[in-house]
């Protein structure tokens, strides 16, 4: 079965011929190349673009290694433009044309960006993919001077995952919960082989790429940090807490202690490689962000499970990670909601209590509040999940997502109760 990935394909089509560079970003092996070099390439052909007016170059292919030199790449592409008709330039893994010297020197001009910008002045429409945000998505606003559109692609959402199986949504979700949404898994049937693929992907592709790209000296620290971030998905943390946790394992050898700066840098590398997203806490009442504590989510929960050797598959944390990635994949901005309320303590004194809402979701002028709860099968649990909603007391939509449930229903306070599968599959939830 061919995955259509229509949501992302339509984004590319909508941005076609807009005189901007289209930059498809995302974690490696999440389907960027297939989207651009297969699905979009086919769209161009089907809409009448001649084959010789589509210049497709994959810099990851061995036979194209010479084209990783930016000057050689420019000349090769320019040599294929022979008339005044529109040409479509598709460059896969474009960051491979950024030289080692350019990566080491942040003040050095990156030739690739100049090349891409120069094509905007010719009869071309430019599309690239990239797996590293430091040299692509984080530079869109500066290096491309307002002439770049980022289209961020994620591993398969649950909706897309259902395209790969004939199982019922409930049975499919059980599988999705364990293995996640890396596209190549659809070609693997054996459970052990799926786990081995995910482990190999993490260790031999992502981890090795970070070590080599950033010349990591403390590989042990990077591995331990990655384990901590995977195991603490959905938990509030910060650099100091992570540093202290790692150093607590190294008390017997003070020379092995790790610094704040090292942990901070390694987190940045993991984020730049799209392996993890950091979500800040947001004061809903005061309308401001807290920078001292945040949460981290893994780009794919199946990768997260494999990194932890399938030892920590608590559905509560996995649900939260899945909901976050689902929201991001559909273009929502997401914060962790914090509410501070002045209340009376047991003995009558006043105190400030802090309540959390798992996700404050924004798109345009619309805002939604979402709580992720495996179940709310007791009055105490129900009260704990609903209380933050009652404190906010505004008209924005409020949602509780549980692992199981009947059909979606609204309680007497207007809160929508919905199962995780319905939340992930229905189009009318965030409206």
Res 388: pLDDT: 92
* Co-location of 191 and 338 in the same domain: yes
* Co-location of 132 and 163 in the same domain: no
* Co-location of 257 and 362 in the same domain: yes
- For the stretch 264-297, what's the b/e string if a residue is b when 16 or more beta carbons lie within 10 angstroms of its beta carbon? eebbebbbbbbbbbebebbebeeeeeeeeebbbb
Res 369: pLDDT: 97
218-275 pLDDT tens trace: 999 999 999 999 999 999 999 999 999 999 877 766 678 999 999 999 999 999 889 9
| Spans of the chain, pLDDT less than 50 | 137, 141
| Boundary of a domain, candidates 152, 183, 199 | 152
Q: Tell me if 139 is assigned to some domain.
A: yes
* Co-location of 127 and 253 in the same domain: no
Res 87: pLDDT: 98
CATH number, domain of 33, equals 3.40.50.300
Q: Tell me if 336 is assigned to some domain.
A: yes
206-222 pLDDT tens trace: 999 899 888 899 999 99
Rounded Cα–Cα distance for residues 224 and 201 (Å): 17
Res 143: pLDDT: 65
Our count of domains for the chain comes to 2
* Co-location of 230 and 314 in the same domain: yes
* Co-location of 210 and 172 in the same domain: yes
Domain interval for residue 358: 155-431
* Co-location of 116 and 160 in the same domain: no
* Co-location of 349 and 400 in the same domain: yes
Q: Which two tokens stand for residue 321?
A: 């990670």
């Amino acid at each position: 079965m061919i995955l259509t990935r229509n949501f992302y394909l339509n984004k590319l089509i909508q941005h076609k011929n807009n005189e901007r560079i289209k930059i498809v970003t995302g974690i490696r092996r999440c389907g960027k190349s297939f989207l651009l070099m297969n699905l979009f390439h086919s769209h161009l052909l089907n809409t009448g673009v001649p084959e010789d007016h589509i210049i497709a170059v994959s810099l990851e292919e061995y036979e194209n290694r010479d084209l990783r030199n930016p000057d050689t790449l420019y000349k090769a592409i320019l040599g294929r433009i022979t008339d005044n008709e529109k040409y479509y330039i598709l460059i896969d893994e474009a960051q491979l044309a950024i030289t080692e010297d350019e990566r080491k020197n942040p003040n050095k001009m990156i030739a690739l960006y100049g090349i891409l910008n120069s094509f905007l002045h010719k009869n071309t429409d430019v599309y690239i993919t990239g797996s590293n945000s430091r040299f692509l998505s984080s530079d869109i606003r500066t290096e491309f001077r307002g002439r770049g559109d980022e289209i961020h692609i994620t591993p398969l959402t649950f909706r897309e995952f259902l395209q790969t199986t004939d199982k019922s949504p409930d049975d499919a979700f059980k599988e999705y919960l364990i293995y996640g949404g890396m596209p190549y898994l659809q070609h693997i049937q054996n459970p052990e082989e799926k786990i081995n693929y995910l482990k190999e992907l993490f260790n031999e592709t992502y981890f090795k790429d970070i070590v080599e790209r950033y010349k990591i000296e403390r590989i042990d620290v990077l591995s331990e940090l990655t384990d901590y971030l995977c195991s603490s998905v959905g938990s509030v943390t910060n650099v100091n807490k992570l540093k202290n946790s790692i150093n607590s394992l190294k008390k017997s050898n003070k020379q092995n202690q790790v610094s704040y700066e090292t942990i901070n840098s390694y987190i940045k590398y993991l984020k730049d490689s799209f392996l993890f997203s950091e979500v800040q806490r947001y004061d809903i009442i005061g309308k401001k962000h807290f920078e001292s504590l945040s949460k981290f989510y893994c780009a794919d929960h199946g990768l997260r499970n494999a990194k932890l050797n399938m030892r920590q598959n608590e559905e509560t944390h996995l649900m939260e990670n899945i909901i976050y990635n689902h929201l991001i994949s559909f273009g929502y901005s997401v914060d962790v909601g914090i509410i501070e309320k002045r209340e009376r303590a047991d003995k009558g004194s006043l105190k400030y209590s802090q309540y959390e809402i798992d996700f404050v979701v924004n798109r345009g002028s619309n805002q939604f509040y979402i709580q992720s709860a495996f179940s709310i099968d007791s009055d105490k649990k129900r009260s704990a999940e609903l209380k933050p909603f009652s404190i906010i007391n505004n008209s924005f939509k409020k949602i509780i997502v549980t692992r199981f449930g009947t059909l979606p229903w609204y309680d007497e306070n207007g809160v929508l109760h919905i199962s995780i599968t319905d939340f992930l599959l229905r189009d009318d939830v965030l409206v």
